[in-house]
Every structure is written in structure tokens, then in C-alpha cells.
Structure 1
Amino acid sequence: MYLVDVRLESPAHLSPADVRVLLSEAARPGDGVEHIYVQPAPPSAGALPRDTAPPLDVVLFLSHLTLTESERAADTVLRRCTTGGLRFRRVSAMPLTLLVELLGLEG
């Protein structure tokens, strides 16, 4: 399983629940999306432009065998959602096992 981190930047004021529904509806069975997590992005140092909503951070959990397949599937799902001014930007991707190992080292 791989995690793909995404940042949603949009003039639309969408709640994390709205974005979860939007992405869930855009995902197809072959995309391998197992879980979607959405939260407000940490505040940035500068002020947001007037016509921009605060960004949201999204994590897509994908069940593909390789990172490349997971990134490709995530990009496909995101492309399906880019109507109405929504803009998703992929931030990073990593194997879930690596994340668990890194968290284990911290605690």
C-alpha cells in the first residue's frame, strides 16, 4: 500500500468531508483507492489571496504494488476532479510500511 499526499488549492470553500466525497465519487474500482483522509493544511506564513479558500491536505491510500502505479492512479483520480476551478497538487508519495517504520523510530 502507498500513501500519496495531495494539496487542494481552490477558490471554492470546501469542507474536508466535501473533498472526501468528491474524491470517493471520482475513484473507480481499478484505481485502488482504499482510504481517503482530508484535513486543513497548516497555516502558511503569508496571507491568502482574497478569492482563495484555505488549502486542504489530502492523503490517498492506494493498494497498488508499485509507487509508480500508485502515483499514476492518484493522478487519474485527481484529473477527474479538476472541474470548477479545483486544483490538486501532488506533494509526495511513500510506502505505508516506510511510514510505519519512521513513526516507530520517533516513538
Structure 2
Amino acid sequence: MSSLRSAWPAKDPEEALVAEFYYANEVQAGETITGMSVSCSVLSGVDPDPAAVLNGTPTISGSSVLQPFHAGLDGVNYRLRCVATFSSGRILVRAASLPVRMA
């Protein structure tokens, strides 16, 4: 998947993708991402364990945070949210909805 938007097109439950939380437009000179936290919650539908959509730990790649994700339940709309901490102490948040639908 490309840079995070407010909403993605639907993904199939069998797809395994990588979310990119893109911060390059907000990074100040000399500033780097020093920490991050990614979460997944349910916007609509039912999934007793939405965190299971996250597939491993996030990584920093330049001015982006990359989070692998997979699975999800058909008919559920998820919210992926990334909180990034920068070397300056600033904290920026990115989030987007992710619909999961059987192809």
C-alpha cells in the first residue's frame, strides 16, 4: 500500500500488505522519528481482536513508519493509527480507515 490516506480501498482478508504512515511533509530540518506506536481498532462491524490485523512490529524508514498488516474479517471497517515521536519531542498522529471485503 502506498502512503496513508484517510481511507484506503477495500482489501481482501487473504491479502498481506504494508501501511506507510508518511510524515515527510511535516519533518523539520534535522528532525528524525525516534519512536512509534501503531494500533488497530474497529470502526464498524465486529472483530473481537482487531489488533490481530497488525502483522509484526512497525519500522522506521526515513520519514515514514511502516506497519505490516494482514487478515481482518469480511465486512469490518478498521482504523489503523500511528503515533510518531520525533527527536524534537513533537508527536504527530496519522490514521486511516481500512475496509476488509472478500473479493
TM range (shorter): 0.3 to 0.5
What is the TM-score with the length of structure 2 in the denominator? 0.39
Q: Which has the higher helix share?
A: 1
Q: Which has the higher contact order (CA 8 A, sep 6+)?
A: 1
Q: TM-score with structure 1 length normalisation?
A: 0.38
Q: Which has the higher strand share?
A: 2
